A and B are shown apart, each in its own frame.
Chain A
Amino acid sequence: MKQSAKSAGKGLNKAGFLKTFKKNLPLTLMALPALIVMFLFRYLPMSGLLLAFKRFSVRKGIFGSDWVGLDNFEFLFQTSDAWIITRNTICYNALFIFLDLVLAVAMAIGLSELLNKRRAKIYQTIFMAPYFLSWVVVSFMAFSLFSLDDGLFNHLLAYFGFEGVNWYAEPGKWPFILTFFQIWKTIGYSTVMYISSLTGISNDYYEAAIIDGATKWQQIKRITLPCLKPMMIVLTILAIGRIFYADFGLFFQLPRDSGPLYPVTQVIDTYVYRALKETGNVGMAAAASLYQSIVGFVMVVGANLIVRRIDPDSALF
């Protein structure tokens, strides 16, 4: 890292720049296809960010449309629910990030330690299964569990002599339900990431540890976890960058857009969706997305700064 910064600094004069450029040319060529794709499909459309400050007209196009200042952002803050929406989005995401990290790492290590390896493979495949189901399908499944009249849970409650619960009208229960389904759906995915990271750990470490008489628990603490650390940090920082984005399917489809649940299910993405369904205002959509991006950007830079203080090698940049 430091080296490259130095060499970039040296490149200030023209000759130095050319020299650096030439020396790095093979690697730059290797990066070129990706850079072209990035430029064409990511950077060219960035002009759309301007729409956040404009009133879009089809005939005038993006650049020709009239400026409206910050008007497009107003709807995000003027609602009386602004606080609830922000709180929900951030709290759920923070919880999901934490649980996903802890559980996926635990699961990956647990699977790798099982005595029967074939069984471990089968488990691992099965854990991926929910990832393939769309939220719409999951919401119908969930309805067959939670439905007031025909739901499995209410049948069970009735069987044990309790009164049925109107699940879709009781906000108190949904933070748990949402968290469960989120983890259920994504944990397999994260586990795969960590399992494939485990393959990168050399046997020699463990061999040395065994010779030193380290217990299993010590091996995990001293070898496995430190080796997984870079992946843990990277995945967490990236997740933090998306802390202001909520999974629309989870918060909209799963609770079936049920009004009484809004206090615990209303997040930025559902609010924006409902708000713009009527007006279809392109500028307001752009404003919402820019707002989410900026918060994400600040969070990533902040998280990265902290990581760099503690462990410079694991930092993203």
Chain B
Amino acid sequence: MKNISKRAAALAMTAVMTAGLLTGCGGGSGSTAGSTGSGAAAGSGSSGDEITTLTWYMSINPVAADTDKVIAKLNEYTREKIGVEIDYKVIANPDYKEKMPNLINAGEYFDICFTSNWTTDYLQFVGKEAFMDITELLPQYAKETYDFIPEAVWDAVKVNGSIYGVPSYKEMGWQGGIVYNSDMAEAYGIDMSTVKTLEDYTKVLEVVAEKSKAEGKDVVGVSGLTNAWPMAAPYESLTGNPKLPAAGAVPEFGNFQDVSSQAVFNQYASEEYMNYCQTVRGWNQAGYLGGDPVNYDSDIANRDNDFNNGALFSYFIQYAPGTSEAMSASSGHGVGFVPLMDPLFETRSALGGLLAISSASEHPDKALEFINLLNTDEYVGTLIRHGIEGEHYTAVGDTQVDKTMGGTLTDNGYDYTYGWQFGTPFNQKWDISYPDNIEELFQQYNDSAVISPNNGFTFDAVPVETQVAALTNVIAEYTPSLETGSVDPAEYIPKFLEALQANGVDQLIEEVNTQLTAFNSAK
């Protein structure tokens, strides 16, 4: 009942807002009205003198020294092209995480802001009505982008059937696996191609331990276990958080034996979880994980150093195309990758980065036109990511850039690593450190991705927030030691499950089930 009335209210709100928007356009200057009809995507140019200023809050790391120069250049172009000037508020990632939620909560004015599931949470602020519903506006003002990004990605960012942000289109989904020191594997005569599952890996670890000890070295076999469980037995996380109970099986993987494909289940109560913990427990007791795997995982710098120096053989990661090439360049030895699964695309995969428009924005049309440029105009995409040609990069061929500019990258006044935060990397030139065929690699990756059965389902946690709060604490207490084999699973998993029970895991799963049924029947 509560939900329905809320939805009705939201609908009414949207109607009012759209009406306001329309009158705003009509009452505004003729130029805006003119560009509305033809669709700005066609590049209508600035058909009047009116310049719209858009306030854009962006999270990118770290903030480049020459930002002002680049934005001036960008404004030159966008003024001409769509009659827009950007008031660019760029904030480093860790700062943005602290600042932006307060800014939005306080009702500060902005047109565009960066949002995701790791900073300034997209779903949370959609729930707080901070972002504008752009489902209708998208095909009108950002048609090229709308067509360019695959349907499944749009589905994933929908909340109750409406789109509230333009996602960055990059690799589709996530793929868990193990990166390893391939030089060492070769030296020890290990054939990694035989490794398909976690159990297969036990033999590898055994050999590594044996041979390295024979050489008088102390090599940690594998680390990164605190993230490994969802890779060992991948499932769709229906709450949007893989740590929370309520998983859905993915039929293509066929990995959960005793659950039917449609059911929502508690992954921690599954046979597979017990198996995983037992396997890892074996590794821990055999000494493959070092003395203190939980704390080892928390010190990334130390891990990287060990990996580079051959004191660590392998670790679990989420893989993206080009990663092992880059890692072998930085580590000074060969790096290979063993996938444990095909890429999985689920709702949360599309939430790595989005540009959303404020529900209070006065220029959603212009904001969308600008976002469209970020995603489809290669000049804009490359400019915002790599800076000004001749000053921050030199072009290499048609698709690549060299950013060293006769010095080191650290001296470059405009150098961003996470270019996809600005939009899609396919609309930006690539750094020469990527392999030539990088776009192909992405294409292969995306083609092989399995789309989860309930893609597009977003869980509204409001009715069970109390349970989620309590369960989050229980999970933080038990999983790190269980999933690194630091405690005996036969003894601790039952305790863990009991604690989950006591804090309402059943209500959570029940609620997910109800919402999922409603979602699927509405489809």
- Ranked nearest first, the 9 interchain pairs of A and B with the lowest CB-CB distance are A275-B469, A79-B470, A75-B469, A80-B502, A58-B130, A148-B292, A75-B466, A74-B466, A149-B291
Q: Per a CB cutoff under 8 Å, which of B107, B124, B470 touches A275?
A: B470
Closest-by-CB residue of A relative to B290 is A149
Given A56-B105, A58-B105, A169 and B128 touching (CB < 8 A)?
no
A–B Cβ pairs within 8 angstroms, 16 of them: A58-B104, A58-B105, A58-B359, A78-B466, A80-B502, A81-B470, A148-B295, A166-B292, A262-B473, A262-B476, A277-B472, A278-B241, A278-B469, A278-B472, A279-B465, A279-B468
Chain A residue with minimal CB distance to B473? A274
Query: Which stretch from B143-151, B261-269, B477-485 is at the chain A interface?
Result: B477-485
* Residue B360 is within 8 A (CB to CB) of chain A in the complex: yes
- With a cutoff of 8 Å between Cβ atoms, the chain B residues found around residue A166 in the complex are 292
The answer, yes or no, to whether A282 is at the interface (CB within 8 Å) is yes
What separation, in Å, do the CA atoms of A233 and B262 have in the docked complex? 64
B51, CB-defined interface residue at 8 Å: no
User: Assuming A59-B129, A147-B295, what are 12 further A-B pairs, CB within 8 angstroms?
Assistant: A58-B125, A59-B359, A61-B107, A75-B466, A80-B502, A81-B473, A148-B291, A166-B292, A169-B481, A260-B477, A275-B469, A275-B473
**Which residue of B is nearest A78, CB measured?**
B466
Residue-wise, chain B 474-497 has the 8 Å CB interface mask toward A (1 for contact) of: 001111110000110000000000
- Quick check: A58 and B107 within 8 Å, CB to CB? yes
Known A-B contacts A74-B466, A79-B469, A258-B294; the reply to A169 vs B486 at CB < 8 A is yes
Asked if A57 is at the interface of the complex by the 8 Å CB criterion, the answer is: yes
Size bracket, chain A contacts: 35 or more
Which B-chain residue is minimally distant from A79 (CB atoms)? B470
* Chain B residues whose CB sits within 8 angstroms of the CB of A257 once the complex forms: 476
**Which residue on A lies nearest to B476, using beta carbons?**
A274
B469 to chain A, nearest CB (A): 3
Closest to A257 in B: B476
Contact A282 B105 (CB under 8 A): yes
Q: Are B473 and A266 in contact (CB under 8 A)?
A: yes
CA–CA, A202 and B45, complex, Å = 83
A56–B128 contact, CB under 8 A? yes
> Main secondary structure on chain B at its contact with chain A?
helix
A59 to B504 CA separation, bound complex (whole angstroms): 32
Q: How far is the CB of A88 from chain B (nearest CB, A)?
A: 13
Q: Are A280 and B101 in contact (CB under 8 A)?
A: yes
Contact B477 A259 (CB under 8 A): yes
Where the two chains meet, the residues of B that have a C-beta atom closer than 8 Å to any C-beta of A are 13, 101, 104-105, 107, 121, 124-125, 128-130, 241, 244, 290-292, 294-295, 298, 359-360, 461-462, 465-470, 472-473, 476-481, 486-487, 499, 502-504
* Neighbouring A residues of B466 by C-beta, 8 Å: 71, 74-75, 78
Q: Is the CB of B129 within 8 A of A57?
A: yes
A-side contacts of B479, CB under 8 Å: 259
Interface residues of A in 223-244 (CB under 8 A from B): none
Let me know if A278 and B125 touch, CB within 8 A.
Answer: no
> Which residue of chain A has its CB nearest to the CB of B463?
A71
Q: Is the CB of B468 within 8 A of A80?
A: no
- CB-based nearest A residue for B131: A58
| CA of A58 to CA of B470, assembled, Å | 25
Establish whether residues A259 and B292, one from each chain, have CB atoms under 8 Å apart when the complex forms.
no
Chain A minimum-CB-distance residue to B13: A59
- Cross-chain contact B129 with A259 (CB below 8 angstroms): no
From B124, B298, B465, B478, contact of A256 by CB (8 A): B298
User: For the complex, what is the distance from the CA of A118 to the CA of B481, rounded to whole Å?
Assistant: 51
Closest to B467 in A: A78
What's the least CB distance linking B228 to chain A, in Å? Answer: 16
Please give the residue numbers on chain A whose beta carbons come within 8 Å of chain B beta carbons, in ascending order.
55-61, 71, 74-75, 78-81, 143, 147-149, 166, 168-169, 256-260, 262, 266, 271, 274-282, 284
Task: Kindly state the separation between the CA atoms of A259 and B484 in the bound complex, as whole angstroms.
Answer: 12
Q: Which residues of B contact A278 (CB under 8 A)?
A: 241, 244, 461, 468-469, 472
Chain B residues within 8 Å of A149, by CB: 290-292
Does the CB pair A259–B478 fall under 8 Å? yes
A64 to B465, CA, bound (A): 22
Q: Could you say which residues of chain A place their CB within 8 Å of the CB of B291?
A: 148-149
| Chain A residues within an 8 Å CB radius of B101 | 280
* Closest chain B CB from A44 CB (angstroms): 13
Listed residue (B105, B241, B461, B478) with the most chain A CB atoms within 10 angstroms of its CB: B105
Q: Return B233 CB to nearest CB of chain A, in Å.
A: 21
In Å, the complex CA distance between A168 and B469 comes to 24
In the complex where A147-B295, A259-B481, A280-B124 touch, is A59 in contact with B360 (Cβ < 8 A)? yes
Specify which chain A residues have a CB less than 8 angstroms from the CB of B477 in the assembled complex: 259-260, 262, 266
In the complex, what distance in Å separates the CA atom of A184 from the CA atom of B473? 29
Please give the distance in Å from A2's CB to the nearest CB on chain B. 46
Residue of B128, B130, B359, B499 with most partner-chain A CB within 10 A: B128
CA distance A77 to B467 in the complex (A): 11
Residues of A within 8 A of B130 (CB): 58-59
- The docked-state distance in angstroms from the alpha carbon of A143 to that of B302 is 14
B121: which A residues are within 8 A, CB to CB? 280
A contact residues around B244 at 8 Å (CB) = 278
The reply to whether B473 and A58 contact each other, CB–CB distance below 8 Å, is no
Minimal Cβ-Cβ distance residue in B for A55: B462
Question: What is the chain A residue whose CB lies nearest that of B359?
Answer: A59
Q: By the criterion CB–CB under 8 Å, are A260 and B481 in contact? A: yes
Known: A259-B476, A280-B124. Is A168-B360 also a contact (CB below 8 A)?
A: no
Roughly how many angstroms separate A15 CA and B465 CA in the complex, as a whole number? 56
Interchain CB contact under 8 A, A58 and B128: yes
In the complex, what residue of chain A is closest to B130 when comparing beta carbons? A58
Q: Do A168 and B292 touch (CB < 8 A)?
A: yes
In the bound complex, CA of A282 to CA of B298 (Å): 29
Q: Are B504 and A78 in contact (CB under 8 A)?
A: yes
Given contacts A58-B128, A59-B360, A279-B124, contact A168 B105 (CB under 8 A): no
State in angstroms the CA–CA spacing of A281 and B241 once bound together. 16
CB neighbours of B469 from chain A (8 A): 75, 79, 275-276, 278-279, 284
> Which residue of chain B lies nearest to A143 when distances are taken between CB atoms in the complex?
B295
Q: How far is the CA of A280 from the CA of B98 in the complex (A)?
A: 12
* Chain B residues positioned under 8 Å from A79 (CB to CB): 469-470, 473, 503
> CB-CB < 8 A to A169: which residues of B?
481, 486
A258 and B226 CA atoms in complex are apart in Å by: 13
Chain B residues near A75: list those with CB within 8 A: 465-466, 469-470
Shortest C-beta distance, B74 to chain A (Å), equals: 28
A174 to B481, CA, bound (A): 18
Known A56-B105, A75-B470; judge A80-B476 contact (CB<8 A). Answer: no
Q: In the bound complex, how far is the Cα of B356 from the Cα of A163, in angstroms?
A: 56
Asked if A57 meets B128 with Cβ closer than 8 Å, knowing A75-B465, A80-B499, A257-B476, the reply is yes
Report A271 CB to chain B, min CB distance, Å. 6
